[in-house]
Amino acid sequence: WILMATARSPTNIAVVKYWGKRDEALILPINDSISVTLDPSHLCTTTTVAVSPKFDRDQMWLNGKEISLSGGRYQRCLREIRSRAGDVEDEERGICIGKEDWGKLHVHIASYNNFPTAAGLASSAAGFACLVYSLAKLMNVREEQGKLSAIARQGSGSACRSLFGGFVKWEMGKDSTGSDSIAVQLADEKHWNDLVIIIAVVSSRQKETSSTTGMRESVETSPLLHYRSTEVVPKRILQMEEAIRTRDFSSFARLTCADSNQFHAVCLDTSPPIFYMNDTSHRIISYMEKWNRFEGTPQVAYTFDAGPNAVLIAPNRNVAALLLQRLLFYFPPSTDTELKSFVLGDQSI
Ligand code: DP6
For 238-272, write each residue's pLDDT tens digit: 999 999 999 999 999 999 999 999 999 999 999 99
Nearest CA owner, ligand 1 atom 12: 158
Percentage of the chain with pLDDT > 90?
Answer: 79
Residue 291 — φ and ψ, nearest 5°? Answer: -60, -50
**Residue bearing the bigger pLDDT, 337 or 188:** 188
pLDDT at residue 345 in the model? 41
**pLDDT band of 124, cuts 50, 70, 90:** confident
CA angle 25, 27, 30 (to 5 degrees): 125
Ligand 1: atom nearest CA of 122 is 4
Residue 147 — φ and ψ, nearest 5°? Answer: -65, -40
How many Å from the N-terminal Cα to the C-terminal Cα in the chain? 46
Residue 75 has pLDDT above 50, yes or no: yes
CA 15 – CA 329 distance, rounded (Å) = 27
Task: Please answer whether residues 51 and 76 qualify as being in contact, where contact means their C-beta atoms are separated by less than 8 angstroms.
Answer: no
Residue 341 has pLDDT above 70, yes or no: no
Please tell me the distance between residue 125's alpha carbon and the centre of ligand 1 in angstroms.
8
pLDDT at residue 309 in the model? 87
**pLDDT band of 40, cuts 50, 70, 90:** confident
- Find the mean pLDDT for residues 179-203: 91
Please tell me the distance between residue 4's alpha carbon and the centre of ligand 1 in angstroms.
29
pLDDT at residue 68 in the model? 96
User: Which residues have any ligand 1 atom within 6 Å of their CB?
Assistant: 14, 17-19, 27, 33, 122, 124, 156-158, 211-212, 305-306
**Residue bearing the bigger pLDDT, 39 or 54:** 54
pLDDT at residue 349 in the model? 35
Tens of pLDDT, residues 152-183:
999 999 999 999 999 999 999 999 999 999 99
Task: Please answer whether residues 78 and 152 qualify as being in contact, where contact means their C-beta atoms are separated by less than 8 angstroms.
Answer: no
Residue 116 has pLDDT above 70, yes or no: no
Residue 327 has pLDDT above 90, yes or no: no
- Find the mean pLDDT for residues 128-146: 96
pLDDT at residue 343 in the model? 47
Percentage of the chain with pLDDT > 70?
Answer: 91
Report helix angle 279-295 to 249-269, nearest 10: 150
CA 34 – CA 349 distance, rounded (Å) = 26
Task: Please answer whether residues 319 and 194 qualify as being in contact, where contact means their C-beta atoms are separated by less than 8 angstroms.
Answer: no
CA angle 184, 188, 190 (to 5 degrees): 170
Which helix (H) or strand (E) segment holds residue 33: the answer is: strand 33-37
Nearest CA owner, ligand 1 atom 3: 211
Nearest CA owner, ligand 1 atom 14: 305
Ligand 1: atom nearest CA of 305 is 1
CA 118 – CA 110 distance, rounded (Å) = 18
CA distances from 102 to 51, 90, 108 (A): 9, 15, 13
Ligand 1 pocket test target in 21, 163, 209, 211 with most atoms within 8 Å of CB: 211
CA distances from 292 to 79, 88, 314 (A): 49, 56, 11
pLDDT at residue 283 in the model? 92
Ligand 1: atom nearest CA of 170 is 18
Q: What is the pTM of this model?
A: 0.94
Task: Please answer whether residues 35 and 341 qualify as being in contact, where contact means their C-beta atoms are separated by less than 8 angstroms.
Answer: no
CA 259 – CA 252 distance, rounded (Å) = 11
Nearest CA owner, ligand 1 atom 11: 211
Average pLDDT in the chain: 91
Ligand 1: atom nearest CA of 155 is 7
Q: Report ipTM (2 d.p.).
A: 0.99
pLDDT at residue 334 in the model? 65
**pLDDT band of 200, cuts 50, 70, 90:** confident
- Find the mean pLDDT for residues 226-243: 98
Residue 204 has pLDDT above 70, yes or no: no
Tens of pLDDT, residues 18-33:
999 999 999 999 999 9
Peptide bond into 333 cis (omega under 30): no
CA 70 – CA 219 distance, rounded (Å) = 26
- DSSP state for residue 39 in the 8-state scheme: P
- Find the mean pLDDT for residues 328-339: 69
Give 174: exposed, middle or buried? Use CB within 10 Å, 0-12, 13-18, 19+.
exposed
- Find the mean pLDDT for residues 319-341: 76
Ligand 1: atom nearest CA of 158 is 2
